[in-house]
């Protein structure tokens, strides 16, 4: 093999490998976690007597470990209990993402699938391409949130109080209105 | 072709038609898998089994095994739909206690007994439907 051909071959291999890697870009992985809460954003306190959200730890689709408490420490968090095989869930998940995206990084969104759905969920996240993380959570997490059947949407206030759950999902406009109510007006 | 040869050809075609042709002795059978989970849903909405029956869902694999242990049908379940769990009650609200009902058709060869197996849960036994019956085979999960 000539020197030129060898260089071309190595270059081709390098390009091929670069295209096949990209673990950072796993849909629903750590790269989809929200950035810092926008400066000046403040949140209303949850109503007194609201129940604490059950703590949980889970693994994102790229293997990154996350804890609920870390995700709701600085901002409200919308949880969407979903499944790869459920067409209705994909619609509900996309609606939730639309509502959350209206508020930029002020609100977090975490999709949650069951443990036996880990592999198919990669395709689900890729197809939906929502730009929000998706976690694989143990059965007890589903049960702790009374998520008996997907889709279930749960709204958690900043600091970890459960504000509302919607079994069967919720439309983007309703959710967006609830999210707007959590934001405190900017001081004059 | 002589008349005799023509007769032989016809006979061969008839025999071949009887041996192949859509499974011969199979019968299309409607199976109605009822997940008795009493989950709160809107009637008619697409559904899956609620926990602890979450293994009954769209794309879940099923197998039907005859009494001799051989697999006679397999496939994946379609999505279910929610039906009023207690039709004699007028709930007066949209979201009511429901069962998730999964309807699907399978071609079953003649056997006296079958078992429907999902990836989880106990197998569900059923008998061959009577020849004249159009009623579905109802199998209850729960």
Give B-chain residues touching A150 at CB under 8 angstroms: 48
What digits encode the pLDDT tens for the residues A33-79? 999 999 999 999 999 999 999 999 999 999 999 999 999 999 999 99
* pTM for this prediction: 0.83
What digits encode the pLDDT tens for the residues B58-92? 999 999 999 888 999 999 999 999 999 999 999 99
Query: What percent of chain B is predicted at pLDDT more than 70?
Result: 83
Is B62 within the bounds of a domain?
yes
pLDDT of residue A44: 93
Q: Is B79 on the interface with A (CB under 8 A)?
A: yes
Instruction: Show the tokens assigned to A177.
Output: 């209105």
Which domain does A119 fall in, by range? 27-182
pLDDT of residue A12: 47
CATH classification at residue B41? 2.60.40
Residues 6+ apart with CB under 8 A from A70: none
Is B101 within the bounds of a domain?
yes
Which domain does B65 fall in, by range? 26-141
pLDDT of residue B26: 86
Q: Smallest CA–CA separation between B65 and chain A, in Å?
A: 24
SS3 A82: coil
Overall number of domains in chain B? 1
Give B-chain residues touching A83 at CB under 8 angstroms: 48, 57
Give CA–CA dist B103/A125, Å, rounded: 28
Question: Does residue A14 carry a pLDDT above 60?
Answer: no
Checking ipTM against 0.90, whether it exceeds it is no
Is A159 within the bounds of a domain?
yes
Q: Smallest CA–CA separation between B120 and chain A, in Å?
A: 12
Instruction: Show the tokens assigned to B65.
Output: 């095994």
Q: Is B49 on the interface with A (CB under 8 A)?
A: yes
pLDDT of residue A159: 96
Q: Smallest CA–CA separation between A167 and chain B, in Å?
A: 8
pLDDT of residue A21: 42
Is A171 within the bounds of a domain?
yes
Overall number of domains in chain A? 1
Question: Does residue B11 carry a pLDDT above 60?
Answer: no
- Which of A14-18, A150-154, B21-25 shows the lowest mean pLDDT across its residues? A14-18
CATH classification at residue A160? 3.40.30.10
Is A121 within the bounds of a domain?
yes
Is A32 within the bounds of a domain?
yes
pLDDT grade for B10, boundaries at 50, 70 and 90: very low
What digits encode the pLDDT tens for the residues A101-129? 999 999 999 999 999 999 999 999 999 99
pLDDT grade for A22, boundaries at 50, 70 and 90: very low
B50 vs A87, A88, A148: nearest CB: A148
Q: Which residues of B47-62 are buried (b: 16+ CB within 10 A; e: fewer)?
A: bbbbbebbbbbbebeb
Give A-chain residues touching B51 at CB under 8 angstroms: 139, 142-143, 147-149
pLDDT of residue B4: 53
Is A18 within the bounds of a domain?
no
Query: What percent of chain A is predicted at pLDDT more than 90?
Result: 84
Give A-chain residues touching B57 at CB under 8 angstroms: 83, 85-86
Is A76 within the bounds of a domain?
yes
Residue A75 DSSP one-character state: S
Is B86 within the bounds of a domain?
yes
Sign for the pseudo-dihedral over CA of A141, A68, A136, B40:
positive
Is B8 within the bounds of a domain?
no
Is A50 within the bounds of a domain?
yes
Across all residues in chain A, what is the average pLDDT?
89
Check A142 against B59: CB less than 8 A apart.
no
Check B51 against A148: CB less than 8 A apart.
yes
pLDDT of residue A3: 54
Is A129 within the bounds of a domain?
yes
Is B5 within the bounds of a domain?
no
H helix or E strand, kind and range, residue A166: strand A162-167
Q: Smallest CA–CA separation between A86 and chain B, in Å?
A: 7
Q: How many CB pairs below 8 A link A and B?
A: 43
- For B119, which residue in chain A has the nearest alpha carbon? A116
pLDDT of residue A121: 96
Check B48 against A83: CB less than 8 A apart.
yes
Across all residues in chain B, what is the average pLDDT?
86
pLDDT of residue A6: 57
pLDDT grade for B129, boundaries at 50, 70 and 90: confident
């Amino acid at each position: 093999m000539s020197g030129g051909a060898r260089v071309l071959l190595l270059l081709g291999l390098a390009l091929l490998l670069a295209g096949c890697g990209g673990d950072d870009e796993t849909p629903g992985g750590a790269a989809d976690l929200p950035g810092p809460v926008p400066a000046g954003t403040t949140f209303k306190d949850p109503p007194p007597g609201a129940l604490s959200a059950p703590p949980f730890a889970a693994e994102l689709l790229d293997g990154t470990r996350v804890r609920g408490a870390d995700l709701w420490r600085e901002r409200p968090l919308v949880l969407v209990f979903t499944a790869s095989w459920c067409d209705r869930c994909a619609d509900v998940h996309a609606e939730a993402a639309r509502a959350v995206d209206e508020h930029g990084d002020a609100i977090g969104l975490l999709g949650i699938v069951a443990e036996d759905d880990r592999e198919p969920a990669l395709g689900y996240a890729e197809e939906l391409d929502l730009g929000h993380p998706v976690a694989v959570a143990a059965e007890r997490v589903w049960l702790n949130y009374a998520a008996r059947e997907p889709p279930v949407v749960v709204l958690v206030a900043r600091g970890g109080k459960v504000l509302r759950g919607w079994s069967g999902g919720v439309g983007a406009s309703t959710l967006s209105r609830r999210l707007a109510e959590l934001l405190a007006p900017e001081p004059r | 072709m002589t008349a005799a040869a023509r007769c032989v050809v016809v006979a061969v075609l008839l025999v071949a038609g009887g041996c192949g042709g859509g499974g011969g002795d199979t019968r299309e059978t409607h199976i109605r898998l009822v997940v008795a989970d009493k989950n709160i849903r809107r009637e008619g909405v697409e559904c899956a089994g609620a926990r602890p029956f979450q293994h009954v869902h769209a794309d879940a694999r099923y197998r039907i095994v005859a009494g001799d242990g051989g697999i006679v049908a397999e496939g994946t379940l379609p999505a279910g739909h929610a039906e009023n769990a207690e039709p004699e009650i007028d709930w007066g609200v949209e979201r009511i206690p429901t069962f998730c009902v999964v309807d699907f058709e399978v071609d079953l060869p003649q056997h006296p007994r079958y078992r429907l197996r999902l990836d989880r849960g106990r197998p569900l036994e059923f008998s061959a439907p009577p020849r004249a019956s159009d009623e579905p085979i109802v199998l209850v999960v729960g």
